[in-house]
């Protein structure tokens, strides 16, 4: 080849390479010029605990749905649907589940999701969850058949497998095996998931902001979204949870277009929001929620059953609901331990209870041998749906004859404190108040679990309740299930595990610039689109 030809060839190649480089730079510049679509939300609480298996706190559950995925989920009709699972079979004798994962499931670090990851995740979740524990009582073993297929071998049939693996709360989130092998009693420190968003740990500022970005390699299911099931198609680039504790400040920011969504606006501000043409209302949970007054049975005086029974007589639901919710359109007096208006709902055994019968309450307090030592009541101050509950409880408890040391703190401090089994002298507690939407039946209701050290905070211990719950997990006939639910309630009155303080409902509000909001038991951020403010 002559020098002239070589020169022309090199020159042409240089022009082509230069042109390609300019085109690449142009594409980068164009991409950089496109603004990110960001949804800014104020959630019901600041995120401090980021292990949704270790805690029952709903803010941690909400975080879990952002970055993790589940094997199954329930749709808007309450039916169980596959999520990470492609196909599954149940043997004729109903003792072997064979499950195969979908193609294309990846962890956020690019590694494929495997059956061994899922087995390890199920085991860790089951060690802490109320339904998981019931399920494991029937599990013989787990077998990883190959990278995508595994089996759950049972000793006998149980409904707990599908109920447990599809729970909207107390959720069986899948984690990499190395993470799932963390002790269930310890919090994880590696936050790699396979869900639709990536947790930006470098931008997480507790008390200020939590940031999630779209996981571009996430493969949603083909079906349309339905409650917690279906396709988790992320249509925004970024979601920011902003910690704004003051409700008026949050609402002002929403009206100004500075934020897009408030998960739990204060009920007294709802009339003002309804008048604004730019605001839309939605409901994360049409069944509502139940307030829960929880005893710590490890510490005196509530290790004594009569001290606990006294509170059934001292309390009434109306005082609590009026003090916190106020508007009767958003609350319901309901003495059932299961949601009123649902198949298991019953007031059997509660007819004379929750009527503020202080005479009867004081008699039981005296019979319990209570010695006048102040009882520690945890009081959450930074969440409007909890802030006024403890003061009402304190007043009613004192009328029943207890001395009350109400200790005030933010909600996340309550969550950490209530997990401790310490005696009172070392920072322990006696009573706390929370809320749940998992009260459809005895198996799913976390606070009806009376499995001693294996249950959640409060640690009630009653073999009779556990026997009834176990019987319920084996029963498929609805009439027999109802009878068992009634029996559980009667025993939970006799051996109190908690006191239900009524049902309440919480609308969510968002700007109309957001579309694609999904009504579900938990707030989800897939399927959202945003246009302007």
CA separation, residue 187 to residues 149, 201, 339, 419 (Å): 28, 16, 32, 12
Closest alpha carbon to 450 in 433, 469, 477: 469
CA distance 273 to 278: 9
pTM: 0.78
Predicted confidence band of residue 386 (pLDDT cuts 50, 70, 90) = very high
Q: Identify the residue with better confidence: 287 or 279.
A: 279
**Beta strand spans in 215-254 (E):** 238-242
φ/ψ (deg, to 5) at 328: -65, -15
CB 321 within 8 A of CB 315: no
Residue 5 has pLDDT above 80, yes or no: no
Please state, in angstroms and rounded to a whole number, the distance separating the CA atoms of residues 173 and 52.
Answer: 8
CA gap 320, 62 in Å, rounded: 26
For residue 110, the tally of other CB atoms under 10 A from its CB is 8
What are the CB-based long-range contacts (under 8 Å, 24+) for 100-107? 100/148, 100/149, 101/148, 101/149, 102/219, 102/221, 103/148, 103/219, 104/219, 105/69, 105/194, 105/219, 106/194, 106/217, 106/218, 106/219, 107/176, 107/192, 107/193, 107/194
Residue 16 has a pLDDT of: 42
- How far apart CA 400 and CA 92 sit, in angstroms, is 56
Helices marked H in 328-388: 358-367, 384-387
Tell me what pLDDT residue 20 has. 43
Phi, psi of 167 (to 5 degrees): -60, 140
Helix (H, G, I), strand (E, B) or coil at 332: strand
Of 38-52, 244-258, 282-296, 369-383, least confident by mean pLDDT is 282-296
2 has a pLDDT exceeding 70: no
SS3 at position 197: strand
How many Å apart are CA 315 and CA 324, to the nearest integer? 15
Helix (H, G, I), strand (E, B) or coil at 279: strand
Query: pLDDT-based confidence at 100, cuts 50/70/90?
Result: very high
Using omega within 30 degrees of 0 as the cis cutoff, is the peptide bond preceding 151 cis?
no
Give pLDDT, residue 284.
67
Instruction: Tell me the pLDDT tens digit for each residue of 396-455.
Output: 999 999 999 999 999 989 999 999 999 999 999 999 999 998 898 998 898 999 999 888
Q: Which of 96-105, 242-251, 400-409 has the lowest mean pLDDT?
A: 242-251
Asked whether 60 and 68 are in contact (CB, 8 A), the reply is no
> Hey, CA dihedral for 335, 336, 339, 342, is it positive or negative?
negative
DSSP codes, 57-92: -HHHHHHHHHH--BSEEE-TTS-EEESSEEEEEE-T
Q: Whats the size of the chain, residue-wise?
A: 533
At 347, is the pLDDT very low, low, confident or very high (cuts 50, 70, 90)? very high
Q: How far apart are CA 475 and CA 531, in angstroms?
A: 49
pLDDT at 309: 98
Q: What stretch of H or E contains 172?
A: none
Q: Do 291 and 389 form a contact (C-beta atoms < 8 A)?
A: yes
Tell me, rounded to whole angstroms, the distance of Cα 381 from its chain centroid: 20
Q: Considering only 64-68, 136-140, 279-283, 457-461, which range has the smallest mean pLDDT?
A: 279-283
CA distance 315 to 499: 9
Quick: pLDDT tens for 387-396.
999 999 999 9
């Amino acid at each position: 080849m002559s020098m002239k030809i070589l020169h022309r060839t090199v020159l042409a190649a240089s022009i082509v390479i230069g042109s390609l480089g300019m085109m690449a730079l142009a594409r980068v510049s164009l991409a950089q010029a496109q603004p990110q679509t960001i949804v800014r939300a104020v959630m019901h609480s600041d995120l401090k605990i980021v292990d949704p298996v270790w805690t029952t706190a709903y803010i941690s559950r909400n975080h879990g749905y952002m970055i993790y995925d589940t094997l199954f989920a329930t749709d808007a009709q309450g039916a169980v649907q596959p999520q990470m699972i492609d196909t599954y079979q149940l043997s004729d004798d109903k003792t072997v589940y064979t499950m195969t994962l979908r193609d294309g499931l990846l962890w956020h670090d690019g590694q494929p999701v495997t059956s061994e990851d899922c087995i390890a995740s199920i085991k860790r979740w089951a060690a802490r969850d109320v339904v998981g524990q019931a399920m494991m009582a029937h599990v013989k073993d787990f077998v990883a058949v190959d990278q995508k297929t595994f089996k759950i071998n049972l000793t006998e049939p149980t409904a707990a497998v599908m109920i447990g693996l599809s729970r909207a709360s107390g959720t069986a989130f899948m984690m990499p095996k190395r993470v799932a092998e963390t002790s269930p009693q310890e919090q994880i420190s590696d936050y790699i998931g396979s869900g639709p968003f990536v947790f930006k740990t470098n931008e997480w500022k507790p008390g200020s902001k939590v940031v999630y970005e779209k996981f571009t390699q996430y493969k949603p299911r083909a079906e349309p979204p339905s409650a917690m099931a279906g396709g988790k198609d992320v249509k925004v680039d970024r979601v920011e949870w902003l910690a704004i504790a003051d409700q008026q400040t949050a609402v002002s920011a929403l009206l100004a277009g500075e934020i897009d969504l408030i998960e739990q606006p204060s009920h007294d501000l709802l009339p003002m929001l309804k008048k604004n043409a730019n605001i839309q209302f939605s409901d994360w949970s049409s069944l509502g929620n139940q307030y829960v007054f929880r005893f710590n049975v490890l510490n005196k005086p509530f290790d004594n059953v009569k001290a606990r029974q006294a509170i059934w007589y001292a309390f009434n639901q109306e005082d609590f609901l009026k003090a916190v919710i106020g508007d009767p359109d958003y609350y319901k007096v309901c003495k059932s331990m299961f949601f009123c208006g649902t198949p298991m709902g019953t007031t059997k055994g509660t007819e004379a209870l929750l009527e503020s019968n202080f005479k009867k309450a004081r008699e039981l307090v005296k019979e319990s041998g209570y010695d006048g030592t102040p009882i520690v009541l945890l009081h959450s101050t930074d969440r409007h749906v909890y802030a006024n509950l403890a003061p009402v409880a304190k007043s009613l408890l004192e009328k029943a004859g207890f001395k009350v040391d109400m200790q005030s703190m933010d909600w996340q401090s309550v969550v950490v404190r209530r997990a401790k089994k310490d005696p009172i002298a070392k920072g322990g507690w006696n009573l706390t108040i929370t809320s749940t939407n998992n009260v459809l039946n005895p198996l799913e209701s976390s606070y009806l679990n009376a499995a001693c050290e294996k249950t959640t905070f409060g640690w009630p211990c009653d073999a009779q309740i556990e026997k009834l719950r176990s019987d319920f997990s084996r029963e498929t006939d609805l009439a027999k299930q109802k009878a068992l639910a009634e029996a559980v309630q009667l025993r939970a009155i006799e051996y109190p595990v908690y006191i239900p303080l009524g049902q309440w409902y919480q609308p969510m509000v968002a700007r109309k610039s957001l579309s694609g909001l999904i009504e579900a038991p938990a707030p989800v951020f897939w399927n959202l689109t945003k246009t302007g403010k």
